[in-house]
Structure 1
Amino acid sequence: MTVTTDTGRDAASLRVDGYTGIENYAAIGDGRTVALIALDGRIDWFPVPNLDTPPVFAALLDAEHGGYIELCPVDTFSAERHYVVGTNVLETTFTTPTGSVRVTDSLNTGVAGRLPWSELGRRVDGVTGSVPMKWMVAPGTCLGSASPWLYDTVHGRILRVDGLNLGVRTLGLGDGDVDVDSQSIGGTFTAAQGERYLIGLVGTETEPLFLPTPENVDSGIDRTIRNWQLWSEEFRYDGPWSDQVHRSALALKLLIHSPSGSVAAAATTSLPERWAGGKNWDYRYAWVRDTAYTLRALIRFGLREEVHAAVAWLLKIIRLNDELTQVFYTLGGEMPGGSEKPDVPGWRGIGPVVGGNDAASQLQQGIFGDLFDIVSLYVDAGNILDAPTGRLLANIADTTCDIWQKRDAGLWELPQERHYTSSKMGCWQALDRAVHLVEQGQIPGLADRWIAERDRIATWIDENCWSESAQAYVWYPGSDELDASVLLHAGSGCVEPKRMSATIDAIRRELGDGDFVYRYSGMETVEGTFVACAFWVVSALAEVGREAEATELMDRLAVAGNDVGLWAEMVDVDRECFLGNFPQGLSHLALINAALTIADDHDHAKEV
């Protein structure tokens, strides 16, 4: 099954009651925030200036009052789009009965990196004939917390929403009509063949507003393309599925918060995991788990700056908070607060809309393994730990020796605490990597206790987490239910390869829906399939020596994203559409790591 947008018919018809399918979006970003652009040319999600700022353009969650930036032909049109090669700059070609235009969308970056303000450039090039176009910048209510207003200045019209200042810059619109009310600005113009036009937007929060010339916004698009392509030149991967791996790496780059180095789990909040609602979460935070998987990929790709920034950020935050109990942090590195539920309808009326996340203080033992995996990868890539970090990690290893015997919330952040198998596997990984770091002289201490406790965990897993009747490592002892997250440990020394191979078969049989997989037992009637789990199956097959099966499955999955190669959190297999937050970092990470695992197997086979 392939989840793709339908570009063959009128793109505007894909929108119902103001909403369009999650799979119909593409993403652009500047290192601080992300904008989502629908196939019909409308930007329905764009927090300014940061990803976790209350979103001033959020029609994605509130079609009537959320706010949007429209740019599309007046008449019936079809649309085809792609990213400029090696970039996160989007090109969309709109075709109408009278001609065609190309729209280039960019969140601009500067000469020395990200700009100190948000700058959106929407360039229109007339390709054939003449095309009447319409545009509108209509800020929303920041999820019901503010009311926008427009006022005139000596330098032009400015939109304000609470502490946000927004300036609209246009180029080449000539005598086109301009429509202004107290809360928005827009208009019409006709794009002629060979002519160029621009709709630009700049924004700041609780600071002066810099107003670049329209010409500078336009040239900023070309500079941003060059900046992305320079980044892609540093990207090194020549293995299988290189196009999909590169696109997933670019998607991850969108989620890296450049001011701190943290990695957001996704670009949105509250996109539902099920049609009945109630499973809506805010993923604009940095999870320790996702950071670990991101670094594993970035190290392999030779991307030095992002790797060091993310490692340094994570270790600093842990030291500041004196203990590793937080599952995730804000993008700026603060302890997450509580959550709230704004009184807005949600995507297609499926609520609730949620701001904030209450799962931060849960005990999730798997993050111990994730942390040590991050540090081990960093050290093995030729880097050195500082002394305070070494002492911190030694203390965390000692804590792991004690805490693994407790129940926890598991990787899936469940309210019912149990002895989840994957959590124990994560603790084994933490101690195994701690021993490795001692042997490398990177952290202090004697490893005897860590070795002994690591081996006890392996024995405990062997004796308590394997079910003969299920022929699988189960979700938790005493149950025959299954959990796809155990596949993350397929290459671990704490499991028996034949048993893991049987577990893969059980999970595909019991949790599978075609090539996709549900997270754990019982979810097939509750939510969509979890994209990352399907790619975890690929990695696990390769790890246990079933490379041909892994490759065959990967061939199908790698091309099953949307038309620009992006993935949400979940797929509804029956409806062939996305569910959950978008773009989802863990989905792209799982794709990358599946490709890397198979590539590693190929390289190893050549060496042998």
Structure 2
Amino acid sequence: MSVTDSDAYPPIETYGVVGNLETCALVAPDGSIDWFPFPHLESPSILAAILDAERGGRFRIAPTDSFETERRYVDDTNVLETTFRTDDGTVTVTDFLPPAGRTDHPKKVLYRKLACTDGNVEVEVELEPRFDYGRAETSIERVDGGVLAEGDEERTLLESPIDLEIDDDRGRITGEASLEAADEAWFMLRCTGAEDADTDPDAALAETIQFWTDRAHDCDPEDDCAFEGPWHDAVVRSELVLTLLTHAESGGIAAAPTTSLPEDIGGVRNWDYRFNWFRDAGFTVQALMNLGTADEAVDYFDWFMDLCQTDDPAAIQPLYGLHGESTLEERELDHFEGYRGSRPVRIGNGAAEQRQHDTYGELLLAVDEMHQYGRELDADEWMRIRDIVEYVREIWTEPDAGIWEVRGGDDHFVFSKAMCWSALDRGLSIAIDGGHDAPLEEWRDARETIRSDVLENGYDDETGAFVQSYGSDALDATGLLLPVVGFLPFGDDRIQGTIDAIETTLVEDDAFVRRYDGDDGLPGDEGAFVLCSCWLIDALALSGRVEEAQSRFETLRSYLNPLGLVAEEIDPETGAHLGNYPQAFSHIGIVNSALYLGYARGLETPGPAPMGIRLGDPVVSS
């Protein structure tokens, strides 16, 4: 069987994810951990079978006989249970890592608890460590307490209650055990720095469950909460995903825990998403604050505000590493086959060097969102924000790569221009409300100039909609955000025409929205973007078309996997998930769509009115 055979690569949407607020591991339905970078999310992998079934490495625990599986998260946590049912019995594997700095247990230990609940089950254990994306020479030896594997810089100690064998030819560690009802066994993968750490696995599990439970949004029907309803569980899972992708040390939030999961199976649209994009800022802060996850929202806000502390706004990048790294050189792992033959496999991301003018508007939206919650800017912070707004006033006429990071050359993207308008608009509001010094008249003039320019050049009378770029007739889903950021009111005929045109041109199977219908300089196709599908729901809900929005949201929600996770894209024809997984922006979209629907239905929000209502002029149905 060729490793490109789909049988060697489980569907992306079948994976579960666990993590410790510094890194994550993806667990396949057959009990195999197929992705595990260490020590941080953006670090080289120890296990990467998801990117190369033969060379990537895995850590699998499963019955030796044929089985069926059921999986669930322990309620309101990121602790994953995989239950295997065989003809002879049932056994459950519980996977987790203790959150970094949040418990008294070492964060660098991946715990796997094996528990037989009935019958008798034969299980096999297989560990194939492949350090540095499979590039490092690996040595394996027996030591006190288990089997030690070492690469060039990292090492792992597999602590096991059963005898383990070493296959030097294949670089593999194996073992078998027989469990009867009520038997339990702990397998601990101790990574660099935790080989000798004291561990109490039962206590570690209990404290990890408590940590996640304490952070999960909770409301009762009588609370009249905007998130209450049939989608409440999906919202809570999305919140837990966003928290899982938040780096404990810096507060940065990764776009996804993976790299190079393809947007087009077998194609070249494979990117590294283990970084933070500033374009996520405003809607991320809105989602976290409304969920009551204030600590994470404030940490994230403070983190990107620190990155903005530069005398040159032109130096602000669209994305950064989770420790604030600005150098994210894009490279290719030629020795990896890629998920189902999808090459190249990339690490790093060249988009960090692009000019994306929408970034500034999204930053100002985040600053304004926190301002609405009472976060005041000090003098130095305001100076940097003022510099950013002044910079936008200077460069808004120039082309850029746009929000979608096209690789076919810069253009005059309508959304980028609108977000430059947004930077000036929110800058004005913050300056006035906060009593900050600013050239208010100059900013007002610039804001109106940009608005007039976009209305003249970004709206196509023949199409009856805002288009992707000046002089183009291509549609772009970002047109759905124009009323959300307050550029025009929802009731404006041009906005409603844009919604209708996007429904006609970019929507597939009622719930799925493609990003655009223009050329982006890359071969191949892609699926529908989950986030864009959420944008359509938002635009409909805040335009008073609440029943239609709710119906689309229910359809979209049905495509979340049984664990409540979702990737960047969905193939409308097959329902398969595509792209990196789970995707933060997709889950942000789920949260904010639920928020907008709740508000449009007259339910309460814990803070100020949602961004799309506060900045726009929606026609909300009763």
Q: Deviations over 1:126-146 (max 9, x none)?
A: 111011111112101422421
Alignment of 1:51 with 2:46, yes or no, is no
1:386 maps to 2:378: yes
Query: Structure 1 residues 453 and 33 mapped into 2: Cα distance closer, same or farther (>3 Å)?
Result: same
Aligned pairs for 1:332-481 (under 5 A) are 332-343=323-334, 344-415=336-407, 416-441=409-434, 443-481=436-474
Q: Report deviation, 1:154.
A: 4.3
Cα separation, 2, equivalents of 1:233 and 1:404: 40
Confirm or deny that 1:192 pairs with 2:183.
Answer: no
Q: Which residue of 2 aligns with 1:292?
A: 282
CA distance in 1, matches of 2:571, 2:100: 39
Q: CA deviation at 1:487?
A: 1.2
Q: d(CA) in 2 for partners of 1:154 and 1:129? A: 32
Distance in 2 between the 1:209 and 1:399 partners?
Answer: 47
Aligned to 1:7: none
Residues 141-160 of structure 1 show CA distances to partners (whole Å, capped at 9, x for unaligned) of 42242122113344543211
**Match of 2:89?**
99
Structure 1 equivalent of residue 300 of structure 2: 310
Further displaced range: 217-226 or 509-518 = 217-226
Out of 494, 499, 517, the residue aligned to residue 499 of structure 1 is: 494
**2:272 aligned with 1:282:** yes
Question: Structure 1 stretch 546-555 or stretch 61-70: which is displaced more?
Answer: 546-555
Contact 2:546 2:621 survives alignment (8 Å): no
Return closer, same or farther for 1:341/1:110 CA change in 2, 3 Å cut-off. Answer: closer
Distance 1:251 1:300 in 2: 16
| 1:11-90 → structure 2 map (5 Å cutoff) | 16-90=6-80
Of residues 239, 246, 251, the one that matches 2:228 is: 239
Structure 2 CA distance for partners of 1:237 and 1:88, relative to 1, 3 Å = farther
Write out per-residue CA displacement over residues 580-604 of structure 1, whole angstroms, 9 at most, x where no aligned residue.
Answer: 1111111111111111111122237
Instruction: Kindly indicate whether the alpha-carbon contact (under 8 Å) linking 1:529 and 1:573 is maintained by their aligned counterparts in 2.
Output: yes
2:608 aligned partner:
none
- Secondary structure in structure 2 of the residue aligned to 1:348: helix
Q: Where does residue 5 of structure 1 map in the other structure?
A: none
Partner of 1:573: 572
Give the Cα–Cα distance (whole angstroms) in 1 for the partners of residues 415 and 564 of structure 2.
30
Q: Could you tell me how far apart the structure 2 residues matched to 1:70 and 1:15 are?
A: 19
Deviation sequence 1:453-506 (CA, Å, 0-9, x none): 111211112111111211111111222110011212223432253211221121
Partners in 1 of 2:435 and 2:342 — Cα distance?
A: 50
What is the CA distance between 1:532 and its match in structure 2? 1.0
Q: Is the Cα contact below 8 Å between 1:117 and 1:203 reproduced in 2? A: no
| Counterpart for residue 525 of structure 2 | 526
Q: How far 1:188 moved relative to its partner?
A: 0.8
- Report whether the alignment pairs 1:555 with 2:554: yes
- Indicate the residue corresponding to 2:165 in structure 1: 179
Q: Normalising to structure 2: TM-score of the pair? A: 0.90
Using the TM superposition, give the Cα deviation of residue 312 of structure 1 relative to its aligned residue in structure 2, in angstroms.
1.1
1:321 and 1:163 map into 2 onto residues whose CA distance is 37
Shift of 1:389: 0.6
Show structure 2 runs of 5+ residues with no match: 220-224, 604-618
Alignment TM-score, normalising by the size of structure 1: 0.92
Cross-structure match for 2:196: 211
On the 8 A contact 1:123/1:218 being kept in 2, the answer is no
**Per-residue deviation, 1:80:** 0.7
Separation in structure 2 between the aligned mates of residue 217 and residue 168 of structure 1, nearest angstrom:
14
**What are the Cα deviations for residues 3-49 of structure 1, in whole angstroms up to 9, with x where unaligned?**
xxxxxxxxxxx984521110110111110011101111111001111
Percent of counterpart pairs with the same letter? 35
Q: Supply the distance in 1 between the matched residues of 2:362 and 2:77 (Cα, whole angstroms).
A: 29
Q: Deviations over 1:51-107 (max 9, x none)?
A: 011011000101111111101111000001111111011111110000111221111
Q: 2:266, 2:340 within 8 Å by CA — same for their partners in 1?
A: no
Instruction: Indicate if the aligned counterparts of 2:25 and 2:37 stay in contact, CA closer than 8 A.
Output: yes
Give the CA RMSD over aligned residues: 2.2
Q: Distance in 2 between matches of 1:581 and 1:65?
A: 20
| 3-state SS of paired residue (1:382) | coil
2: CA distance, partners of 1:314 / 1:347: 32
What CA distance in whole angstroms lies between the structure 2 residues aligned with 1:577 and 1:322?
Answer: 43
- Give the superposition deviation at 1:443: 3.8
Amino acid at match of 2:532: C
| Separation in structure 1 between the aligned mates of residue 232 and residue 363 of structure 2, nearest angstrom | 28
The change in CA–CA distance for 1:413 and 1:602 in structure 2 (over 3 A counts) is same
Matched letter for residue 448 of structure 1? E
Cα offset, 1:116, TM superposition:
5.6
